[in-house]
Amino acid sequence: GAVVSQHPSRVICKSGTSVKIECRSLDFQATTMFWYRQFPKQSLMLMATSNEGSKATYEQGVEKDKFLINHASLTLSTLTVTSAHPEDSSFYICSARGESNYGYTFGSGTRLTVV
Amino acid sequence: SQQGEEDPQALSIQEGENATMNCSYKTSINNLQWYRQNSGRGLVHLILIRSNEREKHSGRLRVTLDTSKKSSSLLITASRAADTASYFCATGTGANSKLTFGKGITLSVRP
């Protein structure tokens, strides 16, 4: 079945530094990937839609200069949190459309802690 | 804003019992999907139902969709402790559209 690999699973970084999160579709080509943010015990909030070879489409209220998204190939999308602050600490999840039935395959998520 | 709203927000049942979770939404949809999330992990796709379908089964899962009421239900029969997780409904407006997630339901199945 469709598998999406997301790395790292956990990362701790100092305030002011940048962190890159990778999302790879392992056995299928994903022309579209989605990036979500999830706060504890809350739902997933879509941050942006990433299309291969073009600029990402950001949701209202999401700072595109802070959350840089690159989708350079059909199997890889990256999210870079720039100049991270403690309020950026969250659980970030990527997803890509699966191969059948419109279902989306999710990565296992990245727990970001900014200290 | 959240499209899907699940209820109850938390559900605790005994192993072997059935669990019913409901989801309501506000706008027109092409499909509605249910996902499971174990604590601190990604989401697992459970089942998808299209807007022209009324009921769908997958193993111990049964999903219904009532587009006139803009609501869906997920039934897990003969629950197991391993079913303990958060469950989310998500709506899509097309095959490649973004998904809008509800707030989620926390299901606890007591052994």
At B2, the pLDDT band (50, 70, 90 cuts) reads: very low
H helical segments located in B18-59: none
| CB pair distance less than 8 Å for B41 and A109 | yes
Q: What is the pLDDT along chain A (115 residues), one digit of tens a residue?
A: 788 999 999 999 999 999 999 999 998 888 889 999 998 888 999 999 998 888 899 999 999 999 999 988 889 999 999 999 999 999 999 999 755 556 788 999 999 999 9
Q: Which residue in A43, A97, A102 is closest to B103 by CB distance?
A: A43
| Average pLDDT of span B93-107 | 86
Quote the CA–CA distance of A54 and A71 in Å, as a whole number: 7
Beta carbons of B108 and B79 less than 8 angstroms apart: no
| Ordered DSSP codes for A16-76 | T--EEEEEEESSS--SEEEEEEE-TTS-EEEEEEEETTSPPEEPTT--TTTEEEEEEETTE
Range with the poorest average pLDDT among A4-13, B18-27, B90-99 = B90-99
Q: What pLDDT is attached to residue B3?
A: 56
From B30, B101, B1, select the one nearest A95 (Cα to Cα): B101
